[in-house]
Amino acid sequence: MGMSVNTNVGAMLALQNLNKSNKMLETTQLHITTGLKVNGPKDDAATYAIAQRMRGDIAGMGAVKTALSNGEATVNVAITAGKAVADMLTEMKAKTVQANQAGLDTASKDALQNDFTSLRDQLTTIVQTAEFNGKNLITSAATSLTVLSTVDGSSISVAAQKLDTTTLGINASNISSGASAALVAIDAAINTVTSSLASLGSSSKRIDVQAEFTVQLVDILKEGVGNLVDADLAEESAALQSLQIKQQLGVQALSIANSGPQSILALFG
């Protein structure tokens, strides 16, 4: 078209390109600021939707990880208490064997009985205090523990292992007057505790394996989300420098285009 002061095509084109450069520069600066190349559905709807679903899975896995940690701690408290109970029973057996020897005088038997009773009372105290987060797996009223293991609601069941003196059959044992019967009861109690510890140990191992797997799965999901939405900062840095130069050139081009109509004045000189 001819020369005109009303319509400056060059300036319009320069302004369009400058606005485009400015918009691209803003996008690149946002990527650098947030560290994300996909900040919302506007950037890439499909990728954003996939990433959000994966983030939901990660949040769910976090809840599972917490549940597994609590479950493992509860079982480990029971195991620690069970080991202490086993130690108490070992000491009680030693007292019982001493009381069972022939020719032992009454005073000695009474002294051994006092030690035996003290150990039994300590065993009771251990059982009653073996609690974590309100759950005790070894008291007389203990119930099974259900531990959430997956985001779909699957769980690991840990059977209660009652280790109180009544369940173990030693609540009425008296080594001063019935050492032989007490020895039989103590041996049976030791076998019961050993079996209970084996069961608790197996459950603890299962929870530990599931917890470790959950941690690894969360890491994999986080890596997957990162691959989808994280910005390549080296690439963004290079793009930033390029766009800054384009912006400067665009400003210069617009300035040149705006000065074009000034040449019309020469026609009327």
CATH number for 92: 1.20.1330.10
Same domain membership, residue 246 and residue 143: no
pTM above 0.85?
no
Query: CA–CA separation, 187 vs 101, rounded Å?
Result: 17
Same domain membership, residue 183 and residue 148: yes
Same domain membership, residue 147 and residue 117: yes
pLDDT in tens, 221-254: 999 999 998 888 888 888 888 888 888 888 888 7
Same domain membership, residue 192 and residue 62: yes
Same domain membership, residue 241 and residue 141: no
For the chain, the maximum distance between any two Cα atoms, rounded to a whole number of angstroms, is 142
Looking at residue 80, what is its pLDDT? 95
Same domain membership, residue 265 and residue 145: no
Same domain membership, residue 49 and residue 157: yes
Q: Does any domain span residue 248?
A: yes
Same domain membership, residue 91 and residue 221: yes
List beta partners, residue 155: 148
Q: Which of 7, 11, 17 is nearest to 257 (CA)?
A: 11
Q: Does any domain span residue 50?
A: yes
Looking at residue 5, what is its pLDDT? 66
Range of the domain at 245: 232-269
Same domain membership, residue 256 and residue 137: no
Question: How many domains does one find in the chain?
Answer: 2
Looking at residue 160, what is its pLDDT? 94
pLDDT in tens, 74-87: 999 999 999 999 99
Q: Does any domain span residue 32?
A: no
Q: Does any domain span residue 224?
A: yes
Looking at residue 70, what is its pLDDT? 95
Same domain membership, residue 188 and residue 77: yes
pLDDT in tens, the chain (269 residues): 566 666 777 788 888 888 888 888 888 888 888 888 888 888 889 999 999 999 999 999 999 999 999 999 999 999 999 999 999 999 999 988 888 777 777 888 888 888 989 999 999 999 999 999 999 999 999 999 999 999 988 999 999 999 999 999 988 888 777 788 889 999 999 999 999 999 999 999 999 999 999 999 999 999 999 999 888 888 888 888 888 888 888 888 878 877 777 777 777 76
Same domain membership, residue 127 and residue 60: yes
Q: Does any domain span residue 170?
A: yes
Tokens (6 digits) for 145: 């523990």
In DSSP notation, 19-70 reads HHHHHHHHHHHHHHHHSBS--STTT-HHHHHHHHHHHHHHHHHHHHHHHHHH
Q: Does any domain span residue 29?
A: no
Looking at residue 52, what is its pLDDT? 92
Residue in the block written with tokens 């065993």: 123
